[in-house]
């Protein structure tokens, strides 16, 4: 029986399906843990395959390769270096499990399978995995380690089983996606499990972008007295070795270790947007991004995030003025490009507008111009950006925000064109806050310039699509402070109309916003993916029928 244990937490950036690449990152992290004197390295959930693998994990060939990779890693532990706990899809008796596997001395010492498969929000694990009974602990060199895989920590059942069967230490490999304020929720749940079991807990999370999800790392250790013993940084890869000792009472405790401060809300959201875009572009091998730079705040913030995530040399900003574009918008777009250092081109859409007007004149039969002509402008811009993308390979970055997408204030095949959207889950009121935050702070790891990137006038001028003379967003929408307040009630909390009105909103305005939200569902189904920020992002988090006869109450 040992009385000392050096345990490393390895939060690394994996890619779903890139088993060979994931193994290289695992090996590099193990080597670093070895240099730090670790006996055991704990990796995140499904680290071998990447998380979440979705239906990819149903392919037998994929399962074969993941299993072979685990066998290779196990064989490598014969070298006398640290043992490993790795996550991988694992077949047993014709069933596929989400597994945590202990690898030591050249073999797979033990396997434990996930019990509580999440099937809500962005999760569909019951679709691809089989739920296992609550597991007992594994024996690592005389230490009884209780393995709980991600969701197994969110309910008390697995903790209770492990505690009753003699676990001395709880270890939780995770693929826990970021959402605003989730770190506090994780910590509170971990504290509950520690209190219930009177055992210390090790929480290891991955840090990466995977399509619409981002994972923030922020791994930590709690001692049995609920005190934080170690805290890894958020938003970057990190290997952190913690030092453990068995006390005279037989209980294990972790010596005080690294404590990295966790970011505040706006900093975390900005980092989430950066990481999501960076990994999406790099892992899908785009040479860079192109976006429409209008002189407005949404495209300015999108450009700033893109430059910080990718570097100015990989960001191509295109101003596409129409006859309704103000002088101020020309100036502001040029100023954003100058401050960010991004490439800036001007391609006027007036010739396209005139060509469409001539082409459609016989069909329109002299009808009065309306939103049709406004949408043609947006679509001319979309065609322009997609042409540049096709010719040069840059991914088009959509710049719409959650407020607009909620109520359909966007044009299909126009400003909704794009391969990705960093503001898709960011309300307009937060767009303003994030712009001011970035002007005052440069995030760690950002590749953009120091200092302010968004001119003050861009932040303070009234928002406008500039598709007709003197147009303002508030001509057709409630003020954003009111709109966002109502949308948060409807989307994040599914509140009743009377309860929203009781919060101080006008009944007629709430009814109107509710109707706009419902009518725009067909547009959202055709929107590009974007970073999940809130509790309920559009997409897998919120699944509403397009054909829907249910209406807001009167």
CATH code at position 447: 3.40.50.620
3-state SS, 304-339, equals HHHHHHHCHHHEEEEECCCCCCCHHHHHHHHHHHHH
| Domain count for the chain | 2
Looking at the structure, do residues 334 and 253 belong to the same domain, yes or no?
no
Structural domain includes residue 168? yes
Render pLDDT for 67-89 as a digit per residue (tens, 0 to 9).
999 999 999 999 999 999 999 99
- Please check whether residue 342 lies inside any domain of the structure: yes
Average pLDDT for the chain: 95
**pLDDT band with cut points at 50, 70 and 90 for residue 475:** confident
Write down the pLDDT at residue 530. 95
Do residue 180 and residue 255 come from a single domain? yes
pLDDT at 466 over 70: no
Q: Does a structural domain hold residue 298?
A: yes
Distance CA 79, CA 180 (A): 42
Element (H, E) at 6: strand 4-11
Q: Which of 274, 487, 258, 496 is nearest to 397 (CA)?
A: 274
pLDDT digits 0-9 by tens, 247-303: 988 899 999 999 999 999 999 999 999 999 999 999 999 999 999 999 999 999 999
Q: Residue 218 — very low, low, confident or very high, per pLDDT cuts 50/70/90? A: very high
- 144, β-bridge pairs: 139
The answer for 93, left when phi > 0, alpha when psi is -120 to 50, beta otherwise, is left
- pTM of the prediction? 0.94
Q: Tell me: do 270 and 257 sit in the same domain.
A: no
272 and 220 assigned to the same domain: no
In the prediction, which pLDDT does 121 show?
81
Residues 82, 83, 88, CA angle at the centre, nearest 5°? 130
Nearest to 292 by CA among 167, 397, 173, 196: 397
Domain end position, chosen among 451, 472, 493? 472
pLDDT at residue number 517:
94
pLDDT above 70: residue 158:
yes
For the cut 70, the answer to whether the pLDDT of residue 539 exceeds it is yes
Residues carrying an active site annotation:
45, 114, 150
Residue 519 lies in a domain: no
Domain boundary among 472, 494, 522: 472
**Position 196 pLDDT exceeds 80:** yes
Q: What pLDDT does residue 552 have? A: 79
In a domain, 496, yes or no: no
Same domain, 317 and 335: yes
Helix (H, G, I), strand (E, B) or coil at 118: coil
* Same domain assignment for residues 76 and 35: yes
Pair 317, 195 in one domain: no
| 316 and 235 in a common domain | no
Q: Are residues 309 and 435 in the same domain?
A: yes
Beta bridge partners of 104: 107
- For the cut 80, the answer to whether the pLDDT of residue 412 exceeds it is yes
| Secondary structure letter of residue 384 according to DSSP | H
Q: Is the peptide bond before 161 cis (omega within 30 degrees of 0)?
A: no
Q: Quick check: is 492 in a domain?
A: no
135: domain CATH number is 3.60.110.10
Q: Same domain for 196 and 330?
A: no
Q: Are 101 and 25 contained in the same domain?
A: yes
Judge whether 177 lies within some domain.
Answer: yes
Please indicate, yes or no, whether residues 164 and 111 belong to a single structural domain of this protein: yes
Query: Last residue of a domain, which of 261, 296, 329?
Result: 261
169 domain-assigned: yes
- In what helix (H) or strand (E) does residue 242 lie, and over which residues does it extend? strand 238-246
pLDDT the model gives residue 61: 97
Three-state SS across 175-231?
CCECCCCHHHHHHHHHHHHHHHHCCCEEEEECEEEECCEEEEECCEEECCCCCEEEE
pLDDT digits (tens, 9 = 90+) for 358-375: 999 999 988 999 999 999
Domain span at residue 162?
A: 4-261
């Amino acid at each position: 029986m040992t009385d000392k244990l050096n345990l490393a937490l390895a939060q690394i950036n994996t890619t779903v399906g890139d088993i060979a690449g994931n193994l290289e990152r695992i090996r590099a992290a193990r080597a670093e843990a070895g240099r730090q004197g670790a006996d055991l390295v704990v990796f995140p959930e499904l680290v071998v395959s990447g998380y979440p693998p979705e239906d990819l994990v149903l392919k037998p060939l994929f399962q074969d390769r993941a299993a072979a990779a685990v066998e290779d890693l196990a064989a490598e532990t014969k070298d006398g270096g640290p043992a490993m706990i790795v996550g991988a899809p694992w077949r047993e008796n014709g069933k596929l499990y989400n597994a945590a596997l202990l690898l030591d001395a050249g073999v797979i010492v033990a396997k434990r399978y996930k019990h509580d498969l999440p099937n809500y929000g962005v999760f569909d694990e019951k679709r691809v995995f089989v739920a296992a009974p609550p597991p007992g602990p594994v024996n690592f060199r005389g230490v009884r380690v209780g393995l709980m895989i991600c969701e197994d920590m969110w309910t008390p059942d697995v903790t209770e089983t492990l505690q009753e069967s003699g676990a001395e230490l709880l270890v939780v490999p995770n693929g826990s996606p970021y959402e605003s304020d989730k770190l506090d929720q994780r910590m509170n749940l971990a504290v509950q499990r520690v209190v219930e079991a009177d055992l210390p807990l090790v929480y290891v999370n991955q840090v990466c972008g995977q399509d619409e999800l981002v994972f923030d790392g922020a791994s930590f250790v709690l001692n049995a007295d609920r005190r934080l013993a170690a805290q890894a940084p958020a938003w970057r890869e990190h290997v952190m070795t913690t030092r453990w000792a068995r006390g005279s009472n037989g209980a294990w405790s972790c010596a005080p270790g690294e404590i990295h401060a966790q970011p505040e809300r706006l900093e975390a959201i900005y980092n989430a947007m950066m990481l999501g875009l960076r990994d999406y572009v790099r892992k899908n091998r785009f040479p860079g991004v192109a976006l429409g730079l209008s002189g407005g705040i949404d495209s300015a913030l999108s450009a700033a995030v893109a430059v910080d995530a990718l570097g100015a040399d990989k960001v191509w900003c295109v101003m596409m003025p129409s006859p309704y574009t103000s002088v101020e918008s020309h100036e502001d777009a040029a100023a954003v490009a100058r401050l960010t250092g991004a490439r800036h081109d001007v391609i006027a859409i007036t010739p396209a507008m005139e060509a469409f007007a001539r082409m459609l004149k016989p069909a329109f039969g002299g009808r009065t111009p309306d939103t049709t002509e406004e949408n043609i402008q947006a679509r001319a811009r979309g065609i322009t950006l997609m042409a540049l993308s096709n010719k040069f390979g840059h991914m088009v970055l959509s710049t719409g925000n959650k407020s607009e997408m909620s109520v359909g204030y966007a044009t299909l095949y126009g400003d909704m064109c794009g391969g990705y959207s960093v503001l898709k889950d960011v309300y307009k009121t937060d767009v303003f806050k994030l712009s001011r935050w970035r002007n005052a702070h440069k995030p760690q790891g950002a590749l953009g310039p120091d200092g302010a990137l968004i001119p003050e006038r861009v932040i303070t001028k009234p928002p406008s699509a500039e598709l007709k003379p003197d147009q303002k967003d508030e001509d057709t929408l409630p003020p954003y402070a009111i709109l966002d307040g109502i949308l948060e009630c409807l989307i994040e909390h599914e509140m009743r109309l009377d309860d929203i009105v009781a919060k101080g909103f006008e009944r007629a305005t709430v009814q109107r916003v509710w109707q706009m939200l419902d009518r725009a569902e067909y547009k959202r189904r055709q929107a590009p993916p974007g970073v999940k920020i809130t509790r309920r992002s559009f997409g897998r988090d919120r699944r509403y029928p397009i054909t829907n006869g249910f209406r807001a109450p009167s």
